[in-house]
Structure 1
């Protein structure tokens, strides 16, 4: 059983409690940062959103099963008050507990069922990474914020950035970078479509500057179509890190697109740079 499956088991065993990310990570045997990244990449939903959705989905079912008060149900499912429970329930289902109970059924309620704990191994074949230490550098590009459930806007972000490629003052080389950083417990993250630049140049309007410190990286090759990158990243987090014993660092990671990558077809491959301890 890998640590994502351990996390799923712990959630299903404790969903009635107000469990924290730290508690789930401790039970899974990895750091909260590692578990957050791995779970989101493997499951397509952030861990804590899944916890909240499971708790509220089970509560919605119980609304239909017995006549207990909404306050009692709130307290039994880890909420401190009727108001807190109603607010979370409405955010999840766009209806209050009273409205659902009065309707008498769960039609049009998007319940989140338990994710099946699958013991099948990650099947993506990873070549052994190389390790590199990069000195401080400056990235400049277009910045957007996404969550792990809906990162579909990233290709369009690259379309918006493409006119800037080769036209940003002080650009170094021809490589482009997709930098992921500022991850939170909800699975939200910043994504910067960028190029490297030398310091001292003024930025075109609408672009963002990000300074990366000195950092050691494990560098992986993704050789297939760009559409398969999520499977490669999942294999890195869920298989390579645990088996290698290498520890990830809570720092920006990035994709590096060289001249071999064809943005028109999505073919040609790219590199995935993961920050690791020195």
Structure 2
């Protein structure tokens, strides 16, 4: 993989070269000459982890190795891992590994720990991504079922779609038969809301249990996802880490979405899927 234009690849190299130093999301984004927003989305698409969560896990893994070897000064290990106190380090360590630094040092081995080893970049970008078309999108009201996910635990989305299919076509004010998978409210920690929904004429009359997303007028790059729906992350990865850096465009901090036309077959998982990436004007 050519890392020259790959923000996630550059970030991994920078993190592995500098995680013993003070690091911020801005520092890591600067190494790839992209925004925090662009890097966060690109890194999550390529690795499945939030940037700073990965940094923390790598630091704690190296700290665990030192403790298993019998490091005498736990506070020194904590400071080297970026923590200002023994208490803060212990809380983070227990959250990461399920035991305290003292307990690990006493047991003297790492056999029962899930360590975060350096990630090798997934090189499975699409060999050929069809050039997008550019669309000035109209305002869109989308209603449906929404769940909060983390980029490391978004495997529940297919089951969310299965639940939503039971109400598809029955939503008050539904417009057409197109479905939308809308990603919004993303943060730097890798959390995001995902809504399975349909366009509606207005939000009045909707049951309270349905979520609503209002998408404003927006310029989009629209990509066709031609493979099985289970590989859509591969297409997103190629967009964020290859097409976007080479395109000269910048992403807008706005909802992005998958559009499932009537040609999409939910049984075979094929056909009629587009990815709409919002761009800065």
Query: Normalized against structure 2, the TM-score is what?
Result: 0.95
1:56 corresponds, among 60, 63, 79, to 60
Q: Distance in 2 between matches of 1:75 and 1:7?
A: 23
2:24 to 12, 20, 24: 20
Query: What stretches of structure 1 move > 3 A for 4+ residues in a row?
Result: none
- Contact kept, 8 Å, 2:68 with 2:107, in 1: the verdict is no
Out of 183, 186, 190, the residue aligned to residue 189 of structure 2 is 186
2:243 to 219, 228, 240: 240
Hey, what's the Cα distance between the residues in 2 that align with 1:228 and 1:124?
Answer: 14
Q: Does 1:103 align with 2:107?
A: yes
1:75 aligned onto 2:79:
yes
List alignment gaps of at least 5 residues for structure 1: none
Q: How does 1:1-278 map to 2 (within 5 A)?
A: 1=3, 2-116=6-120, 122-199=125-202, 201-278=204-281
Q: What CA distance in whole angstroms lies between the structure 1 residues aligned with 2:276 and 2:10?
A: 27
CA distance in 2, matches of 1:254, 1:5: 24
Equivalent position SS for 1:175? strand
Structure 1 CA distance for aligned equivalents of residues 272 and 169 of structure 2: 21
Root-mean-square deviation over aligned CA pairs: 1.4
CA distance in 2, matches of 1:134, 1:190: 21
Q: Partner of 2:193: helix, strand, or coil?
A: strand
CA positional deviation for 1:76: 1.5
**TM-score normalized by the length of structure 1:** 0.96
Could you report, residue by residue, the CA deviation over 1:175-201 in whole angstroms, capped at 9, with x for unpaired residues?
A: 000000111112111000000001253
Helix, strand or coil at the partner of 1:51: helix
Q: Deviations over 1:192-241 (max 9, x none)?
A: 00000012531124101111111111000001110110000000000000
Q: Residue 178 of structure 1 aligns to a residue in which SS?
A: strand
Deviation at 1:67, TM superposition (A): 3.0
Unpaired segments of 5 or more residues in structure 2? none
Indicate the SS of the match to 1:168: coil
